[in-house]
Amino acid sequence: MSLGQEEGIFLRPARKRRISPGFVFIVFRIFVLIAFISVLSPGNGLALWPFGKKEPYVAKVGDRVITVKEFIEGVNKLHTGSRVGEALTREKSFEKQRYKKFLNEMIDTKLMLIEAESMGLDKEADYVSAVENFSLNLFLSRLREDEVVNKVKVEDSEVEVVYAEELKKKEEQKTAKEKKVDVPPADEAHGQVKDKSRGDKERIKERILKERIKAKEAEYFVYLRGRADVKFDEEAMKKVSSFAPEDLDTPLAYVNGEPVPAGMISESARKSGGGKDIKDAVESVILYKLLDMEAAKRDYKNEENIAKAIAQFREKRLAEDFKRKAVSAAVKIDENEINDYYAKNTAKYMMQDLFNLGLITVPSMAEADSVISELKKGGSFAHLAEKKSGDSSSVKGGDIGWVSAERFSDNILSAFRIAKEGEVLGPFDASEGKGYVLAVFEFRGMKKGEPIPFEQIKQSVKMELGREKYSELLVTYLKRLRENIPIEINEDEMAKF
């Protein structure tokens, strides 16, 4: 029996009932009394509406509302997200203009949602499927919590027993020689052993928990399978290896009345020729369906956290679909535009400058000063590199050839760009997390970067042009929406931030 059929059992047609005039009068008096009490209630912003206050809002966009709570949650996410960077994350509050800017971004999102719905994007199959899959995954996660994770526990006493057994086993495996190894002073050793034992016990507890969760899952799967109504189509399963693409809707089995089409089975299983492989593959899909059915029929969608997550996913996905289907799809680029964009923005598509260099690396400032002193006296760079450099290029007399500018920090590049051929530069810090290293360079020449040939960069130019056109089109589209959809900003609430 399907979920829809189960729900149908509890649905009854509404019965008509004659309501007497006296009953209507009593109800009317009660409503008037409640309304009167609500008027007298201090601080009641709803006046005659007796069922509570409306949630405060910062803006209204058409028929959509941005509540104060939603706005604050959005601001808090900015502080924990990567979008605003480290500097803002450390701040405790926004400046006023930042609040306004973020509110405008939220308003833009609401405008996109309104337009997407007016275009029917929320009814399209890919959107509906994405929301259903997201929701189902949340339901499945909650189902696993209810039926598996929350029913499994590991007592500390159990961990102690396993820990003692493992410790005893390790002690037995030690050789007499290992036992004679010096140990740290008593208090230090005690602290190390204590910290180590705590970590070992945590790992043991985690391992036992995983094992029990796995066993509980298997037990729950058996339970679901045992109470399911499953019927196999043996003839279809025998023929599945010869199915053409148009045959993949053919059911291989039915689980609680729902078909398991051949298309849900992996191609490798279908081509196996039937037998155990195909039966196991069908059983796997049956299990997925049973879990989906069980999760879907529970009331998880009404739990606050899940309902909120689904609502947020709906908005995010719908806004993305709007950008992709209404904006990106409208961006058109021809060959002439790509050529013109490249010609006007050649500076964006330049090869890096190249520098011809010699390199000597040393581990201390004293050694760096010694190398530079000898070079200034006319010493051979190649000879000094072979004798003193710690870099692999020492075997070639420190010659590292032509090196791209992107390999160097700004302060080193600044020195290179004004250097003369044969000049010794440094020392520069070249540690890069590998210990203290100083670099001394011999400048041997520079090649200015040239424009990257158009044919090599054409696709990148097209993408860059496309991004610019997309941004311009989105701004224009949102401007038009703002002109046609009423927007109200609650300045009193915004002033509180």
CB atoms < 10 A from the CB of 477, how many? 19
Nearest CA-CA partner of 415 in 449, 385, 446, 436: 446
CA distance 143 to 290: 12
Q: How far apart are CA 50 and CA 168, in angstroms?
A: 71
User: What are 270-286's pLDDT values in tens digits?
Assistant: 887 667 788 899 999 99
Percent of all residues in the chain with a pLDDT value above 90, rounded to a whole number: 67
Range of weakest confidence among 50-59, 124-133, 204-213, 377-386:
50-59
* Residues in the chain, overall count: 497
pLDDT at 79: 61
- Residue 494 CA to residue 98 CA, distance in Å, equals 12
Residue with tokens 């705590």: 198
Phi/psi at 248 (nearest 5 deg)? -70, -10
Residue 245 has pLDDT above 70, yes or no: yes
11 has pLDDT over 60: no
Element (H, E) at 258: strand 258-261
Q: Which of 280, 224, 234 is nearest to 255 (CA)?
A: 224
Closest alpha carbon to 461 in 365, 330, 308, 348:
348
Distance, CA of 321 to CA of 127 (rounded, Å): 8
Distances (CA, A) of 20 to 16, 23, 24, 25, 30: 13, 5, 7, 9, 16
The C-alpha atoms of residue 297 and residue 300 are separated, in whole angstroms, by 8
- Identify residue 155 by its one-letter amino acid code: E
Is a pLDDT exceeding 60 seen at residue 246?
A: yes
Give the global pTM: 0.68
Query: What pairs with residue 359 in β-bridges?
Result: 441
Per residue in 17-76, pLDDT tens? 333 444 334 434 444 344 443 444 444 434 444 444 578 999 999 999 999 999 999 888
- Which stretch of 26-40, 143-157, 395-409 has the lowest confidence by average pLDDT? 26-40
Mean pLDDT, rounded, for 236-251? 90
Over the stretch 91-109, which tens digit does the pLDDT of each residue have?
445 566 788 999 999 999 9
Question: Mean pLDDT, the chain, as a whole number?
Answer: 84
